[in-house]
Amino acid sequence: MTLAARLAAGEVLALSAEITHARRGALRHSFRTRTEHVLLSPESARPPRGLSLDHFNLLALYRRDHGGLRGAGTGAKWAWEQFAQAGLERRPGHVLALLTQPRFLGYWFNPVSFWMVIEGNDLYAVIAEVNNTFGQRHSYLLAQPGFAPITAAARLTARKVFHVSPFQDVAGEYRFRFALRPDGLAIQIAQIDGEAGVETAMTGALRPLTTSAIISGALRRPGGALRVIAQIYWHALRLKLKGAAYRPLPPAPQEEISR
């Protein structure tokens, strides 16, 4: 069964992702960590016990957390609208998937989530939904010309227009690579601003999410998104101690999505 068929049938997949993050330029800083993500089709998902949709649980996904204005999202409806406005004609075989980190005991924060249009085992379009720690959000729609399949060799670019880190300028461009397989995925994001920038990667195996996997993941890396934001502040402190210059928060882009 293809990845799209599994998701359309309601299967929820777990991704225990290895995250690497390396700052380029004169001031170097890098780290490696792991996070627990899920890949599912919000329109058809049948989550196991321990993960709920739109109500409290150990892990939970709320529609308002994704798709549109932060805290007032409309989920899959918004994502399909954005893909349609960009010219993607929805076919019967298309499945809309969301790769994200669920709420942990109600706490939510996601540096980036990905809406993906999948058919069979092929990826056709992506929306990278980016949140900063200042309560702002901006999304980037990524696709090949003519919405050709996004292969591992494809490099998708977007101009950086959104403030993510107070230690980086809003300048340069992002270069994305996606390698999606039925049993795993790899995402590489390089932010290039001359000699400066950041290189980030997320890799891991996709496995069926079970209640036992939810419990073991919570015990192995407790806190979920709370642990992630604690790491963000810890590395921000380390950068400040290394002498990184602080950039004031600029206004968020007027447009909610870049194409």
At 226, is the pLDDT very low, low, confident or very high (cuts 50, 70, 90)?
confident
What CA–CA distance (Å, rounded) separates 11 from 172?
A: 38
Which letter, b or e, does each residue of 135-148 get, where b requires 16 or more Cβ atoms within 10 Å of its Cβ?
ebbbbbbbbeeeee
Taking the model in full, what pTM does it have? 0.96
Q: Is the pLDDT of residue 125 over 90?
A: yes
pLDDT band at 132 (very low <50, low <70, confident <90, very high): very high
Cα 46 to Cα 40, 42, 50, 58, 138: the distances in Å are 9, 9, 12, 16, 29
Q: What is the DSSP string of 21-86?
A: EEEESSS-EEEEEEEEEEEE-TTT--PPTTEEESS-SSEEE-GGGSSSSTTS--THHHHHHHHHHT
Measure the CA–CA gap between 91 and 89, rounded to whole angstroms: 6
Cα–Cα distance measured from residue 172 to residue 196, given in angstroms and rounded to the nearest whole number: 9
Average pLDDT in the chain: 95
Query: Which amino acid belongs to residue 20?
Result: T
Beta bridge partners of 178: 187
Annotate 196-221 with DSSP letters as a single string.
EEEEEEEEEEEEE--HHHHHHHHHHS
Q: What is the pLDDT of residues 76-93, one digit of tens each?
A: 999 999 999 999 999 999
- CB burial of 91-120 (b: ≥16 within 10 Å; e: otherwise) equals eeebbbbbbbbbbbeeebbbbbbbbbbbbe
pLDDT at res. 86: 97
Burial class from Cβ neighbours inside 10 Å (0-12, 13-18, 19+) for residue 224 reads buried
Which tens digit of pLDDT belongs to each residue from 23-54?
988 888 999 999 999 999 999 999 999 999 99
**Contact (CB, 8 A) for 17 and 204:** yes
CA distance 227 to 105: 12
Spatial CA neighbour of 37 closest among 238, 177, 209: 209
Interatomic CA distance for residues 113 and 128, integer angstroms:
6
218 pLDDT more than 90 = no
